């Protein structure tokens, strides 16, 4: 059974490229949401195996969305990977300290993104 | 066509065509921010808008095969996000980075 990944990012092009990458390279099932609020609804409904979450989004940013997901019993155990454009070292530490499974950086290579996610989450059979 | 690399390359070329207008809008936002900063290097709103545009461009251009564009954008974001007042030289430098970014996009077509 393929892994199910939820991508939450307000940028259409990033969502599309990430989905293309994960579906084509790894054969995972991908669903997408364009905002933190919509992402939380989809996470509750679909219980994905992992969530790829953008940091900088309007209204509800990635860290706030993560805290909401972490506070809900239905989603608290879903691993979340923060995806952000390259940041300064201080920001990287702040994101890591949130308790997310991993922090990954844009721009990503569409050919290696799935492998990097699998490695970060310890999905050795992927 | 079953080679993942070939599938992704073909789809990326399609996605670039649809994404190009929004990327050009972000570059226009950088130009506007630069114009405002030429007039007033202490314009915090222009600085904030320029930083946001640079951050988004930093994340997306490399995905479409323009790592130099991402690097230029990251360097601009770094300048705009630090708390130091912008000098005249900083504003000149910013303009040069934006021109270089224009060239990267033009070369991509």
Residues in chain A closer than 8 A to B77 (CB atoms):
85
pLDDT band at A85 (very low <50, low <70, confident <90, very high): confident
- What is the block-wise mean pLDDT of chain B (109 residues), using blocks of 10 residues? 85 93 96 97 95 93 94 94 90 97 94
pLDDT of the residue at A76: 97
Q: What is the mean pLDDT of chain A?
A: 93
CB contact under 8 A, A85 and B74: yes
pLDDT of the residue at B83: 80
pLDDT band at A126 (very low <50, low <70, confident <90, very high): low
pLDDT of the residue at A56: 87
* Residue B58: both structure tokens together: 């930093």
Superfamily of the domain at B22-108: HPT domain (1.20.120.160)
Helices B88-108 + B4-39 axis angle, to 10: 150
pLDDT of the residue at B27: 97
Does residue A123 sit in helix, strand or coil? Answer: coil
Supply the DSSP string of A27-86, one letter for each residue.
Answer: --EEEEESSHHHHHHHHHHH--SEEEEES--SSS-HHHHHHHHHHSTTTTTS-EEEEEE-
Alpha carbon distances (Å) from B33 to A58, A86, B49? 20, 21, 7
pLDDT of the residue at A88: 64
pLDDT of the residue at B32: 98
What is the 8-class DSSP label of residue B3? -
Q: Which of A59, A7, A64, A66 is nearest to A33 (CA)?
A: A7
Q: Give the global pTM.
A: 0.89
* Residue B80: both structure tokens together: 């705009």
A86 touches chain B (CB under 8 A): yes
Close Cβ partners of B9 (under 8 Å, ≥ 6 residues apart): none
Domain residue ranges in chain A: 1-8+25-45+63-115
**Are A5 and A49 within 8 A, CB to CB?**
yes
Name which of A70-74, A84-88, B23-27 the model is least confident about: A84-88
CB contact under 8 A, B77 and A85: yes
pLDDT of the residue at A89: 65
Q: pLDDT tens digits, residue range A19-32?
A: 999 999 999 999 99
A91 touches chain B (CB under 8 A): no
User: What is the H or E stretch that residue A5 is in?
Assistant: strand A4-8
Q: Looking at the domain that runs over A1-8+25-45+63-115, which CATH code has it been given?
A: 3.40.50.2300
């Amino acid at each position: 059974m393929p892994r199910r990944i939820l991508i939450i990012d307000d940028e259409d092009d990033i969502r599309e490229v990430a989905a293309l990458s994960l579906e084509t390279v790894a054969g995972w099932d991908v669903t997408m949401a364009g905002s933190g609020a919509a992402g939380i609804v989809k996470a509750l409904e679909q219980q994905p195996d992992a969530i790829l979450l953008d940091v900088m989004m309007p209204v509800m940013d990635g860290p706030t969305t993560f805290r909401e997901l972490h506070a809900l019993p239905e989603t608290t155990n879903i691993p979340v990977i923060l995806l952000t454009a390259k940041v300064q070292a201080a920001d990287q530490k702040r994101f890591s300290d949130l308790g997310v499974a991993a922090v990954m950086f844009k721009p990503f290579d569409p050919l290696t993104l799935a492998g990097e996610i699998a490695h970060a989450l310890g999905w050795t059979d992927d | 066509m079953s080679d993942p690399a070939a599938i992704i390359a073909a789809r990326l070329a399609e996605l670039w065509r649809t994404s190009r207008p929004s990327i050009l809008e972000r570059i226009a936002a950088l130009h506007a921010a630069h114009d405002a900063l030429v007039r007033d290097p202490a314009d915090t709103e222009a600085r904030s808008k320029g930083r946001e545009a640079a951050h988004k461009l930093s994340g997306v251009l490399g995905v479409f095969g323009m790592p130099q564009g991402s690097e230029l954008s990251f360097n601009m974001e770094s300048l705009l996000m630090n708390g130091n007042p912008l000098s005249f030289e900083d504003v000149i430098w910013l303009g040069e980075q934006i021109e270089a970014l224009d060239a990267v996009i033009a070369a991509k077509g």
